[in-house]
């Protein structure tokens, strides 16, 4: 699971627990100017992930780490599809972040507020 927060002009994604090990990341910091938006999307978990490098993928259990698909890099950290949030990025290492959060609606609202008030 991930914890999303806003720190000044940055979106901060903190990877929690053992997911740090599976995703091989503990923290991502993205300038808000590069965040295009966020959506709650439980259906995305069923989409093809692409090539995993590095990370972990056990279908139905976990998708965590960096996945390469159609020329894009996508960061995943999801166990429970019902709690998946997709954060679209521009001009970043990743094209999008797909992360599980405790409250998808609140997280989407937080990101949308932060990106519309900058």
pLDDT at 94 over 90: yes
Number of H helices, E strands in the chain: 2, 9
Show me where the domains of the chain are located: 2-116
The confidence band for 59, taking pLDDT boundaries of 50, 70 and 90, is: confident
Rounded mean pLDDT, 90-105: 97
According to the model, what pLDDT value does residue 14 have?
A: 98
pLDDT at 52 over 90: no
According to the model, what pLDDT value does residue 50 have?
A: 86
Q: What is the mean pLDDT of the chain?
A: 93
Interstrand relation of 72-78 and 96-100 (parallel, antiparallel or unpaired) = parallel
CB atoms within 10 A of CB 77: 27
Burial of 39 (0-12, 13-18, 19+ CB in 10 A): middle
Cα–Cα nearest to 49, from 25, 30, 19, 23: 23
According to the model, what pLDDT value does residue 118 have?
A: 60
Tokens 């996945």 appear where?
67
According to the model, what pLDDT value does residue 37 have?
A: 96
């Amino acid at each position: 699971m991930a914890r999303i927060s806003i720190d000044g002009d940055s979106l901060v994604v903190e990877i929690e627990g053992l997911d740090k090990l599976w995703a091989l990341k503990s923290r991502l910091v993205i300038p808000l100017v590069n965040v295009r938006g966020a959506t709650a999307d439980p259906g995305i978990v069923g989409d093809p992930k692409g090539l995993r490098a590095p990370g972990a993928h056990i279908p139905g259990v976990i998708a965590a780490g960096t996945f390469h698909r159609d020329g894009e890099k996508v960061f995943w950290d999801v166990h429970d599809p019902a709690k998946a949030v997709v954060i679209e990025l521009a001009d970043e290492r990743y094209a999008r972040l797909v992360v599980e959060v405790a409250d998808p609606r609140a997280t989407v609202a937080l990101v949308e507020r932060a990106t519309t008030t900058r």
